[in-house]
Amino acid sequence: AAIGTVADMAPLSGENRYLVKEGLKLMNTTPRLGIGEIISQAGLTPGNLSAESISWTIAPRLNAAGRLAHAMTSYKLLMTESPQEARDLAVWLEEKNTERQKLTAKVWAIAREQIVAQGITPMLVAADKDYPLGIAGLIAGRLAEEFYRPAIVVRTGETVSSGSGRSIPEFNIIKALTECRELLSHFGGHSQAAGFTLPTKNLPQLQEHLSRLATEQLADADLRPQLDIDAEVTLPDLSGDTFNTMQQLAPFGRGNPSPTFLSHRTEVVDCRTMGNGAQHLRLKLKQGGTVWDGVGFRLGSYLAEISPQLDIVYNLEIDSWGGKERLRLNMVDFAPAE
């Protein structure tokens, strides 16, 4: 229940928060065989799993089976009582997840190029016969995140096409699809994510209708992502028991976001890219005699914009890579210090 709640991005409030909190306790002490093997293969630290561990590491591996092959493999992993079978299936999922990451990066670059060539409109639509349906939602999500607009990615067929959409808070995508239901064969989802199937001949009409709805509903919207900052602090303020105190509010996720901090005039000691395709940033930041490690996921393309001093917005997290636990700054945004 804990994994499903986080993976489906259900709000972490009320009963959901309790289910995830108690589920994490079990995963950290007596995980099922299959979950334990995923934890091991992914290099996570047993006993220190969080909701973020589910959303960023465990869920993507379980989902990789259905995206690239068949979801039954993940079901078998979760249900097996054989240590050897659990190990074999976890290794297979790890390989599939790596394959999924590479495929996602490749297809996202193609879809992004298509979107830019078409022009950035209130509703982004990328359609092609070669887009893998299993990762269409991931691609749509990254497009919506980068351009801050609802996005749909469609795999086109000769007679039938299927697609996935991701949205922004200002636009209810399932409501928009409901208004276009006469064009669709099947559809479902919620306000921020949806999937659908339709006759290919109806695709131009669907695109036209959705574009009109988005243009009307987003006409007065500021289509830039907004940051809610909880506190302005200096890096030395974060020493001591700050992180442990903050964990009393966990688990964090949709509906209960991790506290977001702003620090002005931090000194950049070191900065470089990392990860596949240099898509992430790794930094060392100094202020008031303290030096912190920082990471900026999907911010690698902004390396040239790093100045000697930065104003940074970030979350606090534990980095357990390599079996060693240490606090680091997960950078959400930055700007040259004023």
Domain boundaries, the chain: 2-101, 120-217, 231-336
pLDDT (tens digit per residue) in 236-258: 998 878 888 888 888 998 889 99
Taking the C-alpha atoms of residue 227 and residue 334, their distance in angstroms, rounded to an integer, is 11
pLDDT band at 72 (very low <50, low <70, confident <90, very high): very high
Does pLDDT of 98 surpass 90? yes
> Per-residue pLDDT averaged across 266-276, rounded?
93
CATH topology of domain 2-101: inorganic pyrophosphatase (n-terminal core) (3.90.1640)
Identify the residue with better confidence: 317 or 179. 179
Taking the C-alpha atoms of residue 196 and residue 186, their distance in angstroms, rounded to an integer, is 5
* Confidence (pLDDT) at 321: 65
* Confidence (pLDDT) at 226: 85
CA angle 118, 121, 122 (to 5 degrees): 150
DSSP letters for 165-193: EE--TT--HHHHHHHTGGG-SEEEEETTE
Q: Return the structure tokens found at 17.
A: 């928060």
CATH no., domain 120-217: 3.10.310.30
Alpha helices in 131-270 (DSSP H): 136-147, 173-179, 203-217, 242-246
Which of the 8 DSSP states describes residue 222? -
pLDDT band at 77 (very low <50, low <70, confident <90, very high): very high
| 59 contact partners, CB below 8 Å, separation of at least 6 | 3, 6, 7
pLDDT band at 322 (very low <50, low <70, confident <90, very high): low
CATH topology of domain 231-336: OB fold (Dihydrolipoamide Acetyltransferase, E2P) (2.40.50)
pLDDT cut 70: percent of the chain above it? 99
* Confidence (pLDDT) at 323: 62
Name the nearest CA neighbour of 263 among 232, 226, 305.
Answer: 232
Taking the C-alpha atoms of residue 139 and residue 165, their distance in angstroms, rounded to an integer, is 9
pLDDT (tens digit per residue) in 152-197: 999 999 999 999 999 999 999 999 999 999 999 999 999 999 999 9
> Per-residue pLDDT averaged across 289-294, rounded?
93
Instruction: Determine the residue type at 261.
Output: F
Name the nearest CA neighbour of 224 among 167, 149, 297.
Answer: 149
> Per-residue pLDDT averaged across 39-55, rounded?
89
Residue 306 burial (10 A CB sphere; 0-12, 13-18, 19+): middle
> Per-residue pLDDT averaged across 220-239, rounded?
90
Does pLDDT of 18 surpass 90? yes
Distances (CA, A) of 10 to 15, 55, 166: 11, 11, 15
* Confidence (pLDDT) at 256: 92
| 47 contact partners, CB below 8 Å, separation of at least 6 | 28, 29
> Per-residue pLDDT averaged across 90-115, rounded?
95
* Confidence (pLDDT) at 280: 93
Q: Return the structure tokens found at 44.
A: 């996570």
Q: What are phi and psi of 226, to 5 degrees?
A: -100, 140
Do the Cβ atoms of 292 and 267 come closer than 8 Å? no
Does pLDDT of 225 surpass 90? no
> Per-residue pLDDT averaged across 97-108, rounded?
93
* Confidence (pLDDT) at 44: 86
Do the Cβ atoms of 17 and 251 come closer than 8 Å? yes
Q: Dihedral angle at the C-alpha atoms of 235, 240, 243, 247, nearest 10 degrees? A: -150
Does pLDDT of 16 surpass 90? yes
Does pLDDT of 290 surpass 80? yes
Taking the C-alpha atoms of residue 110 and residue 87, their distance in angstroms, rounded to an integer, is 35
pLDDT averaged over every residue in the chain: 93
* Confidence (pLDDT) at 82: 97
296 CB neighbour count, 10 Å cutoff:
25
* Confidence (pLDDT) at 243: 80
